[in-house]
Amino acid sequence: MNDQAAQSTQSVTRSMAAFAVGEHHWSALARERARDAILDCVGCILAGSKEELAAPLLRVLGGFEQPSEQAPAALLGTARYASAQDAALYNGALAHALDYDDTNHPAYAHPSAVLVPALLALAPKCGASGADVVDAYVAGFEIFGKLGRAVNTQHYKRGWHTTATFGTLAATVALARLLRLNEDQAVMALGIAASAAGGLRTSFGSMVKPLHAGYAARNGVLAALLAKEGFVASSDSMDHAYGFLEVFNAGIGFDRAPLLHMGEPLEILTEHGLALKPFPACGGTHPGIEAALLLHKDLAGAPIRSVRAGVCEMAFAPLIHVMPHAPLEGKFSLHYCIAHALLYGELGLASFTQAKIDDPRVRELIPNISMEVDEELRHDSEFATRVTVHTLAGDKFERFVPLAMGKPARWFSIERMREKFRDCSLPVLGQAGCDEAFTALRAMDGPGPVIQLVQALRPRQNAAEQAQAHSSSKSK
């Protein structure tokens, strides 16, 4: 029997379950990348707690003022606790609310926005240490990458939001490891999770897109806990003709090999595996934003006649807005991001308010910006972008950015990580709390219980304001 024939008879479901619960010793670099990603994601959650979607979620989920067996998990950015499932949903949605959280290729997904909320939701319940969370994160991240290699880019192009579809399975694997399930229980957990996976790209630019990350985190928590309690599911949820791989790729074929060779290579260590975000917008905009920021300096205030953004073919999938009408839409408009960066020389959290979206200067420039496939970049998978500006005076300026900041080859320095974390968390934690949390997260890969780390993330500012908001929500 040749290798291809042998692989066709192996169970992908069993392979994923075995990897989830197997004996692994991740390298120091893999653990460092995971710790950095967790730190970055926690900052994004805290920043997301100030976003508009947080209030309706909190009104629906409620929560409790003190932790308990029924409500062991913190709703970050608040002083409240909830069940593990509800906390995973809430924190997951907040993690992705600003589109400032990390990404992965080839999954075209946001791994940490799913994995971190799911792990933080169950870690206090099972007494896990920071090192346990880091260990489980690496395992969950592996699933994102391997699923991407198995079914993308067709899966993504057909309209599925991979953060939700892949994320549900990735969170389940991470939590199966955290809870120390046995292999049979992990198989059942995957069966439960596979039937919960979903998420449509039509929601990009709305509150539902970040909710997908929350759904995936919650689904993983529920699947792992049910499997631990003996809940029974299909034992071939990945392999069956009506299983995940066939159904979610519309029967057009997939590559089983990556899922049968977990850890070969370890996804978190691959060249394009994990990318932190320097800008709070869709990752497909980042090379274009950086190019525009460089051009802002080149232009030195010269009036602009026209702008051409040469992009890869894949860029048109997520960047579905041209003239945005709301901040969330602006995050998926390369036209808006480039216009703002060209005119003002910056693009940060403050760039995505309604006032900035309605800025007359930006809206006047957007119709003069074209987004076209650059033939040299057509099949690029990293959203490389070439921005060319023609001025009213007849001058031409051009900048090309092949790889975004935050990719493994351009990893954040500790100073940049600290700057981003402070920008995200300062309104919630205050200066002293921000510094304490950053230090605690940087040191989390150790034996200390996660519950101690969570305490460092409790709000230090605006406690009265949050209490008043909760009181108001209860009276409605």
Note the pLDDT of residue 471: 46
Confidence of residue 250 (pLDDT cuts 50, 70, 90): confident
Q: In whole angstroms, what is the distance from residue 190 CA to residue 224 CA?
A: 8
Is-contact 210 94, C-beta < 8 A? Answer: yes
Q: What is the pLDDT of residues 77-97, one digit of tens each?
A: 999 999 999 999 999 999 999
The C-alpha atoms of residue 249 and residue 245 are separated, in whole angstroms, by 6
**H or E, element range at 386:** strand 385-391
> In CATH terms, are 3-269 and 283-404 the same topology?
no
pLDDT of residue 465: 44
pLDDT tens by residue, 276-302: 999 999 999 999 999 999 999 999 999
Q: What is the pLDDT of residues 304-325, one digit of tens each?
A: 999 999 999 999 999 999 999 9
Whole-model pTM?
Answer: 0.90
Question: Residue 235, SS3?
Answer: coil
pLDDT of 467 reads 43
Q: Left, alpha or beta for 414 (phi > 0: left; psi -120 to 50: alpha)?
A: alpha
For 3-269, give the CATH class: mainly alpha
2 or 99: which leads in pLDDT: 99
Q: Which CATH code, of 3.40.1010.20, 3.40.50.1970, 1.10.3720.10, 3.30.1330.120, is assigned to 283-404?
A: 3.30.1330.120
Inter-CA distances, 139 with 91, 133, 172, 219, 369, Å: 20, 10, 10, 17, 42
pLDDT for residue 463 is more than 70: no
3-state helix, strand, coil in the chain (%, to 5): 55, 10, 35
Which residue has tokens 């399930």? 181
Give the mean pLDDT of the chain. Answer: 93
- Residue 369 CA, chain-centre distance (Å), reads 28
Q: Is 244 helix (H, G, I), strand (E, B) or coil?
A: helix
Mean pLDDT score, 47-69: 94
Residue 72: per-residue pLDDT: 93
Q: Parse the chain into domains and list their residue ranges.
A: 3-269, 283-404
